[in-house]
A and B are shown apart, each in its own frame.
Chain A
């Protein structure tokens, strides 16, 4: 039985348990005439928990862990058949066996070993799924029976159900912590393996990035170099261009909308700008690569500038557009949070509205604005699709925005897209870049929070 079918079975069993449990407690109460401790619903829910909770956990754990076990057993089986394969060859063989098993490897490419392996694999998978269905359904039925036996009018079903409910809630909240731990561990683990082959200093301060590694030992010029400075520089340049676009437009529109605009204009312009935030980044990427970049290149050629068709300028401009709503809505919030009394005071002293804004409102809102800009920067640095589609692939250490540069996120995508061997320095490098990205964005976010908490004025 497939996992989704089993899941549905459990759901059905749960529903039946609920109905049975409720019916049974009603019957028992009517029979004995004792006053119930908990309401019917709780008795029903108690039986559901007995019937579903444990089998569900086992189902998930089994489905998550059995592929690991099966793969290990398959490798063991193949190793016994041909003991002198290297680890790499073994990986290829296992992949072939699995491909043959699902039918994507043509018959002609399969030898005796692969066929045997596929048969063994099929038997294991079959055995595992059958055993899984059997165990899960049996446990569920036993649980339901046990739950039904426990029901009695004085049985304290409500506290029991509520206790389980609370534990489930705590587990759900802990997922957030687990995710963070998962991110940090998986990044750090792979990064450490990367630093076994490439020194940390070379990665962080090296000036040359060409991650193509020789597939064979004797290949020429394929040693690969992993100096990430050109990537950091490219990321910084594109982020800087994006900020040059987004900060003035975003900030000025926020100021205008909150200080000058009448409700009607505000009602149109604010959602309008927010539409920009709802557009998927792949759309911006397409816009940058197929509309903005050719336009810039052609108009550059008109005035005698040579622009690369993957110039940092195009990617930066479009990324700036993407960031505008981010800056404008965050700044709008902080500008609105500045108390009206400050504006009234400035007006009473004879300041014009723009003087009030520049000399009173904006300085008062400055911590919030700075934090908005920092958050926007972290967004721009982590943004992927725009640069993947519109920026270059080759590392290029330059300060000229008309040339093509590459970024950290572009390289992560380039290193990982397509079939890859998981153990090569090439793929591990992507995780090292990911770790750098994670820490830089984390740092910017923490900094943004710190700025607000440290410098915010309390007016009330």
Chain B
């Protein structure tokens, strides 16, 4: 038997209990710090690894736009790659062999001619003159210049050969190489070449998809919420609907992808990879996520408002349309924005319906083939080329920034317009 009257025992036990208290608090603090560190590490590492993708090394070439390569009558048929290569050859007169020349060309990006092409097409008078222009280097050279490929490794261990190094060093000595902001990341569609790959196509695809989602899910969600919260009698039918909505909110997103594949694509023969189908699938997924906060917004409005309106002779529909709906709007919009933000980050159901195709063009309608930003990120993450790691992170940074802005807007909206009754 323990003797509780012994003062030493009591003091020792109290001390132990206080220590247990301290330990418990420390566990709690540790849990929060761990979660915080994870968040910081997650975001920090992704932002850090995205940094290289926002810039690209370019080389300034003096390009002789000679009539041999492009004629003034048809600037769109010019051989711009030949132009750029000739300009590069002029810098290295000592390179003569076919293989050496081919190696020399390889230090330039495949997209190097695009810049020249744009310039000449915009201003055909340039033909016959000499211009000085920055064109992008290839991704391997770029990584080497950024220090991501160690040039001190033995030649057999690195992608960039000694010969390429010599070319690049000579250009660098002439002060021709400069690190510039990578506009291509935002102005290009997808590409097999990391330095040419951009998110414009995926962003447009995301916008079209979300447009369909919004058009379908917002009215349906709000109407359903009005019915369930304001109009519907409490019977088995409405109880069934409520159970359904709560369950749908918890169904794994990939199951919606299966639904879309079976119903929209295989039954209704809608086109694969199209924002239309993607938007419909996401709309079904978002619907319960709009209905639930919308109902909460309706429920938060005091009954006195409805009773007052009914008292002065409004019909039930007028009560809803003139009073309840406008007052609930901030809550509804916040819920919708958050639901759409979730849909914007969703990938799995879209993989099922083929929205991860390699698509270079920017989609211009809801039935065009398209991909979305998260699917683009997934595809880049699967690409084995080194430079795509930074591209992927950059895509993630863009996606997270967009989501942050949208969610911040939702929170601002709620703070600004929400009424406490």
- Using CB atoms and an 8 Å cutoff, list the residues of chain A in contact with chain B: 2, 4, 64-65, 67-68, 71, 158, 161-162, 165-166, 168-170, 172-177, 179-180, 182-183, 186-187, 189-190, 248-253, 255-257, 259-261, 265, 269, 272-273, 275-276, 278-283, 285-287, 289-291, 321, 324, 328, 352-355, 357-358, 375, 378-379, 381-385, 388-389, 409, 412-413, 416-417, 422, 430-431, 434, 437-438, 441-442, 445
What 1/0 mask marks residues of chain B from 372 to 392 whose CB sits below 8 Å from any chain A CB?
001101100110000001001
Please indicate the chain A residues that have their CB under 8 angstroms from the CB of B25 in the complex. Answer: 256, 260, 354
Partner of B250, one of A249, A282, A388, A445: A445
Partner of B259, one of A168, A183, A255, A272: A183
Please determine whether A355 and B17 come into contact, CB atoms closer than 8 angstroms.
yes
Q: Give A17 to B42 CA distance when docked, in angstroms.
A: 55
B317 closest partner in A (C-beta): A162
Q: Give A168 to B317 CA distance when docked, in angstroms.
A: 13
Partner of B258, one of A165, A187, A378: A187
Complex A-B: 28 CB contacts under 8 Å: A2-B365, A172-B220, A173-B227, A175-B224, A176-B241, A176-B288, A179-B244, A180-B248, A189-B262, A249-B35, A260-B25, A278-B403, A279-B400, A280-B345, A280-B399, A286-B381, A286-B396, A321-B38, A352-B18, A354-B23, A355-B17, A358-B24, A379-B252, A382-B251, A383-B252, A385-B378, A431-B262, A445-B247
Q: How far is the CB of A382 from chain B (nearest CB, A)?
A: 3
Q: Give A457 to B257 CA distance when docked, in angstroms.
A: 39
Please indicate the chain A residues that have their CB under 8 angstroms from the CB of B42 in the complex. Answer: 279, 287, 321
Q: Is B407 an interface residue (CB 8 A)?
A: yes
What is the size category of the interface that chain B forms with chain A?
35 or more
Q: Is B133 an interface residue (CB 8 A)?
A: no
Given A287-B42, A409-B254, do A269 and B227 touch, yes or no (CB 8 Å)? no
Best-surrounded residue of B252, B356, B378 (most CB of chain A within 10 A): B252
Q: How far is the CB of B119 from chain A (nearest CB, A)?
A: 31
Q: Give A151 to B31 CA distance when docked, in angstroms.
A: 69
Q: Is B329 an interface residue (CB 8 A)?
A: no
Please determine whether B352 and A413 come into contact, CB atoms closer than 8 angstroms.
yes
Partner of B32, one of A162, A180, A256: A256
Q: Give A149 to B225 CA distance when docked, in angstroms.
A: 34
A7 closest partner in B (C-beta): B215
Q: Is B87 an interface residue (CB 8 A)?
A: no
Please determine whether A165 and B317 come into contact, CB atoms closer than 8 angstroms.
yes
Q: How far is the CB of B177 from chain A (nearest CB, A)?
A: 29
Q: Give A278 to B403 CA distance when docked, in angstroms.
A: 8
Please determine whether A260 and B28 come into contact, CB atoms closer than 8 angstroms.
yes
Q: Is B148 an interface residue (CB 8 A)?
A: no
Partner of B244, one of A180, A352, A381: A180
Please indicate the chain A residues that have their CB under 8 angstroms from the CB of B17 in the complex. Answer: 352, 355
Q: Is B415 an interface residue (CB 8 A)?
A: no
Cβ-closest 9 pairs across A and B:
A382-B252, A280-B345, A256-B28, A252-B31, A186-B262, A354-B24, A384-B348, A172-B223, A169-B227
Partner of B36, one of A183, A250, A269, A287: A269
Please indicate the chain B residues that have their CB under 8 angstroms from the CB of A174 in the complex. Answer: 241
Best-surrounded residue of B24, B245, B254 (most CB of chain A within 10 A): B254
Please determine whether B252 and A381 come into contact, CB atoms closer than 8 angstroms.
yes
Please determine whether B381 and A434 come into contact, CB atoms closer than 8 angstroms.
no
Please determine whether B258 and A434 come into contact, CB atoms closer than 8 angstroms.
yes
Please determine whether A172 and B21 come into contact, CB atoms closer than 8 angstroms.
no
Given A279-B42, A286-B392, A354-B20, do A176 and B348 touch, yes or no (CB 8 Å)? no
Q: Is B99 an interface residue (CB 8 A)?
A: no
Please determine whether B241 and A173 come into contact, CB atoms closer than 8 angstroms.
yes
A409 closest partner in B (C-beta): B254
Please determine whether B27 and A252 come into contact, CB atoms closer than 8 angstroms.
yes
Describe B's contact surface by its main secondary structure. helix
Given contacts A256-B29, A259-B28, 6 further A-B pairs with CB under 8 A are A65-B268, A186-B262, A280-B399, A328-B35, A388-B378, A438-B255
Q: Is B336 an interface residue (CB 8 A)?
A: no
Best-surrounded residue of A65, A165, A378, A384 (most CB of chain B within 10 A): A384
Please indicate the chain A residues that have their CB under 8 angstroms from the CB of B284 in the complex. Answer: 175, 179
Q: Give A4 to B211 CA distance when docked, in angstroms.
A: 12
Please determine whether B259 and A182 come into contact, CB atoms closer than 8 angstroms.
yes
Q: How far is the CB of B229 from chain A (nearest CB, A)?
A: 10
Partner of A382, one of B30, B247, B254: B254
In chain B, positions 341-365 with a C-beta closer than 8 Å to chain A are 341, 344-348, 351-352, 356, 365
In chain B, positions 384-415 with a C-beta closer than 8 Å to chain A are 389, 392-393, 396, 399-400, 403, 407
Please determine whether B400 and A283 come into contact, CB atoms closer than 8 angstroms.
yes
In chain B, positions 308-324 with a C-beta closer than 8 Å to chain A are 315-317
Q: Give A384 to B349 CA distance when docked, in angstroms.
A: 9
Please determine whether A434 and B254 come into contact, CB atoms closer than 8 angstroms.
yes
Please indicate the chain B residues that have their CB under 8 angstroms from the CB of A375 in the complex. Answer: 250
Q: Is B79 an interface residue (CB 8 A)?
A: no
Please determine whether B224 and A281 come into contact, CB atoms closer than 8 angstroms.
no
Please indicate the chain A residues that have their CB under 8 angstroms from the CB of B301 in the complex. Answer: none
Q: Give A458 to B232 CA distance when docked, in angstroms.
A: 29
Q: Give A353 to B382 CA distance when docked, in angstroms.
A: 50
Please determine whether B381 and A183 come into contact, CB atoms closer than 8 angstroms.
no
Q: How far is the CB of B405 from chain A (nearest CB, A)?
A: 12
Q: Give A223 to B365 CA distance when docked, in angstroms.
A: 43
A357 closest partner in B (C-beta): B24
Q: How far is the CB of B58 from chain A (nearest CB, A)?
A: 27
Please determine whether A290 and B381 come into contact, CB atoms closer than 8 angstroms.
yes
Q: Give A442 to B403 CA distance when docked, in angstroms.
A: 29
Please indicate the chain B residues that have their CB under 8 angstroms from the CB of A291 in the complex. Answer: 45, 49
Please determine whether B46 and A283 come into contact, CB atoms closer than 8 angstroms.
yes
Q: Give A273 to B34 CA distance when docked, in angstroms.
A: 10
Given A353-B21, A389-B378, do A416 and B287 touch, yes or no (CB 8 Å)? no
B238 closest partner in A (C-beta): A173
Please indicate the chain A residues that have their CB under 8 angstroms from the CB of B250 in the complex. Answer: 375, 378, 441-442, 445
Q: How far is the CB of B314 from chain A (nearest CB, A)?
A: 11
Q: Give A430 to B349 CA distance when docked, in angstroms.
A: 13
Best-surrounded residue of B31, B36, B220, B223 (most CB of chain A within 10 A): B31
Please indicate the chain A residues that have their CB under 8 angstroms from the CB of B1 in the complex. Answer: none
Given A176-B288, A179-B287, A180-B244, do A281 and B28 touch, yes or no (CB 8 Å)? no
Given A252-B30, A445-B250, do A162 and B315 touch, yes or no (CB 8 Å)? yes
Please indicate the chain A residues that have their CB under 8 angstroms from the CB of B21 in the complex. Answer: 352-355
Please determine whether B381 and A176 come into contact, CB atoms closer than 8 angstroms.
no
In chain B, positions 241-276 with a C-beta closer than 8 Å to chain A are 241, 244-245, 247-248, 250-259, 261-263, 266-270
B17 closest partner in A (C-beta): A352
Q: Give A186 to B223 CA distance when docked, in angstroms.
A: 26
Q: Is B231 an interface residue (CB 8 A)?
A: yes
Partner of B46, one of A260, A272, A286, A430: A286
Q: Is B228 an interface residue (CB 8 A)?
A: yes
Q: Give A189 to B262 CA distance when docked, in angstroms.
A: 10
Please indicate the chain B residues that have their CB under 8 angstroms from the CB of A189 in the complex. Answer: 262
Q: Is B39 an interface residue (CB 8 A)?
A: yes
Q: Is B166 an interface residue (CB 8 A)?
A: no
Q: How far is the CB of A424 from chain B (nearest CB, A)?
A: 13
Please determine whether A417 and B252 come into contact, CB atoms closer than 8 angstroms.
no
Please indicate the chain B residues that have their CB under 8 angstroms from the CB of A158 in the complex. Answer: 315
Please determine whether A287 and B270 come into contact, CB atoms closer than 8 angstroms.
no
Q: How far is the CB of B336 from chain A (nearest CB, A)?
A: 15
Given A169-B231, A352-B17, A382-B252, do A177 and B377 touch, yes or no (CB 8 Å)? no
Please indicate the chain B residues that have their CB under 8 angstroms from the CB of A172 in the complex. Answer: 219-221, 223-224, 227
Please determine whether B348 and A283 come into contact, CB atoms closer than 8 angstroms.
no
Please determine whether A249 and B228 come into contact, CB atoms closer than 8 angstroms.
no
Please determine whether B258 and A384 come into contact, CB atoms closer than 8 angstroms.
no
